Amino acid sequence: MSLLAQLAIALAIFAAGAAGGIRWHAGQDAIAAEAAREARETDQRQQRRFNDIQAGRQAGTVATLNTKLGDLRAQLATLSGRTCLDAGTVGLLNSSGVLERAAAASEPARAASASAASDRDVAEYIATCRTRYGEVSEQLNRILDIEEKREPPD
């Protein structure tokens, strides 16, 4: 065989090997990209499932708190209704917004006035504030859990 024929054969073998190597490398890249996509999708599914569980727990907590608030309101109806805060104190609390926010759901007209507040009124304000605090606190804890799950500490 002539030197030129040997060189042509060597060049053909080299080209075939290079082409095969490129195809193999491209295949490996495709396999890695597919594995990364599947991992991302799995992480997203897990995150959605975790968020759904947390949302369900939050809804259950809010329902429980609202039930407790309803029970408290039933108990409040049994209070005497005697005056425990004078008009000046109620006016001061109204001007700070404390009584208005607490009573917004039940009796906004009475909360905005500066008339005396009864033990029922004060107990209602306290029960509403505690319930809303429980809702917000629980929601904040769930959000922190979700964020911690999304980005675990180093």
Q: Per-residue pLDDT tens for 59-72?
A: 888 888 888 888 88
* CA nearest neighbour of 135 among 71, 52, 60, 70: 60
* CA nearest neighbour of 145 among 153, 66, 131: 153
Say what the pTM is.
Answer: 0.48
Count of structural domains, the chain: 1
The whole-number pLDDT of residue 1 equals 80
Q: How many CA atoms lie within 13 A of 58 on its CB side?
A: 19
Distance, C-alpha 37 to centroid of its chain? 25
Residue 95: pLDDT band with limits 50, 70, 90: confident
Structural domain range at position 14: 3-150
Instruction: For residue 113, give the DSSP letter.
Output: S
